[in-house]
Amino acid sequence: MLELQDICFRAGDDPEEKGILKHINLKIDDGFVAITGPNGGGKSTMAKVIAGIIKPTSGRVLFDGENITELSITERAKKGISFAFQQPVRFKGLTVRDLINLAHGEPLSLNDACKYLSEVGLCAKDYINREVNASLSGGELKRIEIAMVIARGTKLSIFDEPEAGIDLWSFNNLIRVFEALRTNINGSILIISHQERILNIADRIVVLADGEVRAEGAREEVLPELLTGTQACSTLLNKVV
């Protein structure tokens, strides 16, 4: 479904500048894929390249066999790619129902709109008409954003560190939401995360360090090496596959 071909990205125009992404080659098919690795390794940058928020310095992004490298984030959204930010945006003046309708692309009945909130563990009657403003917590906003992604029904849904900035109770609820998404997956979910509990429900794990893919494979193959201690983890992150 998604393929990155020799993707490089530099923040500046100087060709001698150290690249943030260095010759990334990666294929992502249907399923739940987690991308992890040390801070500053290029994970969020790669997610933004896939979503079309930034363009690579070189290389190609293919989606369903089509070269989408030059397409904008809006054009990619129309192709079926969703992106959820680390910090969801608050929309003063819009209600939760408004956002779900916008995500779906056409007005939904009240029952249908509420169904999406129920899928992410929110009591629909308490949230459907609430304004998306500062009265909502970070955890509530994250779940509303996930409900929007579900309402869109996209082929590829990207979540950039969904656990960032939320409390333990909200995180536990997010884990349950992602577990349900994994069970009922229709397409691909790509999550950038450091959290073991998220990695533990992924089908595949990609380890990105210093702008390079250092490991890639089924969760059963990659996760044990990441969890067996500092020495093993260091060996994994310094091994180019």
Q: Which residues are catalytic?
A: 161
Which ranges of 153-229 would DSSP assign to H, the alpha helix?
168-183, 196-199, 219-227
In angstroms, the Cα distances linking 153 to 28, 181, 208 are: 18, 12, 28
For 110, phi then psi, to 5°, come to -60, -40
For 51, phi then psi, to 5°, come to -75, -20
- Dist. CA 127–CA 178, nearest whole Å: 20
- Dist. CA 108–CA 114, nearest whole Å: 9
